[in-house]
């Protein structure tokens, strides 16, 4: 079965420091991978997605992610964190044949990012 | 502006009552979804719809019902059969179904049972 694991429930980094959020997936074919961000009490905003091609994907707000098939990972990175990046981050994989239909996403449980001044 | 509108943002329900959460999209998307979010649980799929007048159960459909009478609308009813309905509910849509399709989310609705 498809699954997504975000090993870190909560991460704290200092403003200006670099960031890496981990995501590991289990999927039987070529995965379609996504990172979303959620501010408290808000909906999810798409940061970036990987469908095929270049394994380093650029997203909005200065984020990037690298798809590593050998490690079944899709880690999210940012070189310098801003206080406004404090939020919860969700990794997701496109689910093949889910419930008889394609197109749904399987989400990880999220990583909450706190930023220290 | 194009987007997904959920209403109300906050809703309180007495035990034994049914409540309906509204979701409207003007993105001309074929597929729509309802997710439930609980702290530490991530998102869980309640129902999804690929096309008007068709919908399918997700992981946690018990105690919920939906309709899809119009392409742009996908309301969710939380019935009295849902034993623990207090949660954050997210509506979403995508241009079509199909692996790799990007799903876009509304701003969510908080439901609290009092």
Contact B98 A103 (CB under 8 A): yes
* The pLDDT of residue A101: 44
Tokens representing A15 are 């403003």
Q: How far is CA B66 from CA B12, B26, B34, B49, in A?
A: 19, 19, 9, 9
A5 touches chain B (CB under 8 A): no
Q: How far apart are CA A51 and CA A66, in angstroms?
A: 12
Chain B residue with CA closest to A34: the answer is B102
**pLDDT one-digit tens code per residue, B37-49:** 998 788 999 999 9
Whether the per-residue pLDDT at B55 is higher than 70: the answer is: yes
Find all residues with CB under 8 Å of A20, minimum gap 6, and list them.
Answer: A75, A76, A77
Q: What is the mean pLDDT of residues A42-56?
A: 91
Residue A91: HSE in the Cβ half-sphere, 13 Å Cα cutoff: 30
Q: Do residues A113 and A88 lie in contact, with contact meaning Cβ atoms separated by under 8 Å?
A: yes
Q: What is the mean pLDDT of residues A32-55?
A: 91
**pLDDT one-digit tens code per residue, B88-103:** 999 999 887 666 678 8
Contact A43 B103 (CB under 8 A): no
* The pLDDT of residue B95: 87
Tokens representing B63 are 């105690």
In chain B, residues with a C-beta closer than 8 Å to the C-beta of A36 are 105
**Residue written as tokens 């008007």?**
B52
* The pLDDT of residue B16: 86
**pLDDT one-digit tens code per residue, A10-39:** 999 999 999 999 999 988 777 889 999 999
Q: How far apart are CA B87 and CA B38, in angstroms?
A: 6
Average pLDDT, chain A: 90
A89 touches chain B (CB under 8 A): no
């Amino acid at each position: 079965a498809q699954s997504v694991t975000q090993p870190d429930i909560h991460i704290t980094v200092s403003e200006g420091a670099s960031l890496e959020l981990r995501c590991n997936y289990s999927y039987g074919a070529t995965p379609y991978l996504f990172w979303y961000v959620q501010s408290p009490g808000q909906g999810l905003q798409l940061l970036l997605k990987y469908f095929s091609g270049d394994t380093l994907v650029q997203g909005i707000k200065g984020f990037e992610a690298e798809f590593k098939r050998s490690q079944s990972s899709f880690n999210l990175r940012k070189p310098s964190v801003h206080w406004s990046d404090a939020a919860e981050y969700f990794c997701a994989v496109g689910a093949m044949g889910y419930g008889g239909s394609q197109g749904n996403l399987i989400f990880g449980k999220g990583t909450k990012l706190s930023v220290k001044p | 502006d194009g987007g997904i509108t959920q209403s109300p943002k906050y809703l309180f329900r007495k035990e034994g009552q049914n409540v309906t959460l509204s979701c409207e999209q003007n993105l001309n998307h074929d597929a729509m979804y309802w997710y439930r979010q609980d702290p530490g649980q991530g998102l869980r799929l309640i129902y999804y719809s690929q096309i008007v007048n068709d919908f399918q159960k997700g992981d946690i459909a018990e105690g919920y019902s939906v309709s899809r009478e119009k392409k742009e609308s996908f309301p969710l009813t939380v019935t009295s059969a849902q034993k623990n309905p207090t949660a954050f509910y997210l509506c979403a849509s995508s241009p079509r179904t199909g692996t790799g399709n990007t799903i876009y989310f509304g701003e969510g609705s908080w439901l609290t049972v009092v």
